[in-house]
Amino acid sequence: MTRVYLDNNATTIVDPKVYDVMSPFFCQMYGNPNSLHSFGSETHPALRTAMNQLYKGLNASDDDDIIVTSCATESNNWVLKAVYFDKILNGDKNHIIISEVEHPAIYSTCKWLETLGVKVTYLPVNHDGIVEAHTVKDFITDKTALVSIMWANNETGAIFPIKEIAQICKEKNVLFHTDGVQAVGKIKVDVQDVEVDFLSFSAHKFHGPKGVGGLYIKNSQELSALLHGGEHMGGRRSGTLNVAGIVGMGLAMELANDAIEYENKEVRRLRDKLEDALLQIPKTFVVTSRDKRTPNTMLISIKGVEGEAMLWDLNKAGIAASTGSACASEDLEANPVLMAVGADKELAHTAIRLSLSRFTTEDEIDYTIDVFKKAVIRLREISGSYAE
Ligand SMILES: Cc1ncc(COP(=O)(O)O)c(C=O)c1O
């Protein structure tokens, strides 16, 4: 059976080259890097190479820190909870600003921080699903400890004006974190050009392994540790190093950056071909203008077709898509990002996210167009609620 994977914003295939570079670290070089014997020390060259690949990938300087974590959820939690501890509980601030379309790893953590007395501002987005930089300026006060705005949205692919927001935060002397999970590997992410204090990323979103991510920390600035223990990573994040994961993430970052041009030409061309074809179906609507989106992503609403029903029709034909972020895909709530951009509830229930990767082929796109169009006709007939 044909199988087409168009859910690359949820997770990606591990690049076979990444898999190859990781494999010796399971059954041959399995030592703990902190051990003094040769089983430990023989892992060091590969770890050094990987860390260099990460620094180069983000264009970080030697003064900066990149700390490996277990995932971007951890990186995001770390920043928010450490800022709460350092600047709110043990400081004179009480306020955090995020957007209303942040991933749950930020959003839910902020909801929890509210129960501890933190004031959180949820910035609105415009009709493209983007936070406009001036709104950040409008809401910063002398009590603001942190602004955390994602670089690109996981559902719409909308790219946020991170350079401007970073500049505003710098001028106002407020810490700025960006969740870069959906940007790294898809568009240029250069921390010399865009001066963020903290940036979260996750290997499995750019053809690396699951269970490993990172936090970039500008100028190695202070940030209380989330995980205390054996003083790994210079005491910033304890836990035995995930050697295979780190080695895989390093190469994955390098390969993703090498493929950025391909991503922005060829993946974009395939995405646009798919989108053009699907928009020929009457009463369809794609969120966020094309030039304001990551090149691989499309969130499309099809009037009269329940998103979940469409998902199952596609799945029956071997096509993987999503109705929202992976973590939320079992619940049948209207897509919150679509609600935030002002879509009505009916439209928000019909959203399907299609996300490509550099492994997506032309044949797969042609097959998807064919299946998708037939599924819409079938489901509209069944639902009977749609009239042109
Ligand atoms: C924007 C964004 N932030 C954070 C995460 C969480 O990443 P991880 O799976 O590494 O915890 C995701 C995953 O879907 C995401 O899309």
Domain 16-258 has CATH 3.40.640.10: yes
Average pLDDT for 157-185: 98
Is the confidence at residue 249, as pLDDT, over 90? yes
Is the confidence at residue 180, as pLDDT, over 80? yes
Q: Which pLDDT value is given to residue 326?
A: 44
156 neighbors 293 (Cβ within 8 angstroms): yes
Dist. CA 184 → ligand 1 center (Å): 12
Is the confidence at residue 328, as pLDDT, over 50? no
Pocket residue to mutate for ligand 1, from 79, 181, 353, most atoms within 8 A of Cβ: 181
Homologous superfamily of 4-12+260-383 in CATH? Answer: Aspartate Aminotransferase, domain 1 (3.90.1150.10)
Q: Which pLDDT value is given to residue 142?
A: 98
**Cα–Cα–Cα angle for 61, 73, 147, rounded to 5 degrees:** 65
Q: Which pLDDT value is given to residue 362?
A: 98
3-state secondary structure (DSSP) of residue 217: strand
Q: Which pLDDT value is given to residue 333?
A: 63
Average pLDDT for 287-296: 95
Q: Which pLDDT value is given to residue 327?
A: 43
Is the confidence at residue 330, as pLDDT, over 50? no
Average pLDDT for 243-265: 98
pLDDT digits (tens, 9 = 90+) for 73-116: 999 999 999 999 999 999 999 999 999 999 999 999 999 999 99
Whole-angstrom distance, CA of residue 131 vs CA of residue 322: 24
For ligand 1, residues with CB inside 6 Å are: 71-73, 103, 105, 150, 154, 179, 181-182, 202, 213, 325-326
Mean pLDDT of the chain: 94
Is the confidence at residue 365, as pLDDT, over 80? yes
Dist. CA 312 → ligand 1 center (Å): 24
Is the confidence at residue 331, as pLDDT, over 60? no
Average pLDDT for 253-273: 98
Catalytic residues: 327
- Return the ligand 1 atom nearest residue 202 CA: 10
Pocket residue to mutate for ligand 1, from 156, 186, 202, most atoms within 8 A of Cβ: 202
212 neighbors 72 (Cβ within 8 angstroms): no
Q: Which residues contact 253 (CB under 8 A, 6 or more apart)?
A: 53, 54, 57, 58, 184, 185, 203, 206, 208
Is the confidence at residue 120, as pLDDT, over 60? yes
- Return the ligand 1 atom nearest residue 204 CA: 10
Pocket residue to mutate for ligand 1, from 101, 103, 155, 323, most atoms within 8 A of Cβ: 103
Dist. CA 324 → ligand 1 center (Å): 12
Average pLDDT for 226-240: 94
Whole-angstrom distance, CA of residue 195 vs CA of residue 261: 23
226 neighbors 237 (Cβ within 8 angstroms): yes
Whole-angstrom distance, CA of residue 165 vs CA of residue 293: 18
- Return the ligand 1 atom nearest residue 327 CA: 14
Q: How far is CA 49 from the centre of its chain?
A: 24
Is the confidence at residue 325, as pLDDT, over 80? no
Band of the pLDDT at 207, cuts 50, 70, 90? Answer: very high
Is the confidence at residue 276, as pLDDT, over 60? yes
Where are the domains positioned within the chain?
4-12+260-383, 16-258
Dist. CA 9 → ligand 1 center (Å): 9
- Return the ligand 1 atom nearest residue 154 CA: 16
Dist. CA 186 → ligand 1 center (Å): 14
Is the confidence at residue 332, as pLDDT, over 80? no
DSSP state of 328: G
Q: Which pLDDT value is given to residue 342?
A: 76
DSSP state of 317: T
Whole-angstrom distance, CA of residue 257 vs CA of residue 205: 13
Provide the H-helix boundaries in the chain.
Answer: 16-22, 24-27, 38-41, 44-58, 72-83, 104-115, 133-139, 162-172, 243-258, 260-262, 268-279, 307-316, 336-340, 345-348, 362-383
Dist. CA 150 → ligand 1 center (Å): 11
Q: Which pLDDT value is given to residue 338?
A: 77
Nearest-CA residue for atom 7 of ligand 1: 72
Band of the pLDDT at 340, cuts 50, 70, 90? Answer: confident
Average pLDDT for 143-170: 98
Average pLDDT for 22-43: 97
Q: Which pLDDT value is given to residue 346?
A: 73
**Cα–Cα–Cα angle for 40, 237, 95, rounded to 5 degrees:** 170
Distance, first Cα to last Cα, the chain? 34
Whole-angstrom distance, CA of residue 85 vs CA of residue 93: 10
- Return the ligand 1 atom nearest residue 71 CA: 10
Average pLDDT for 301-330: 83
Task: Give the residue among 263, 277, 256, 265 at the shortest CA–CA distance from 365.
Answer: 277
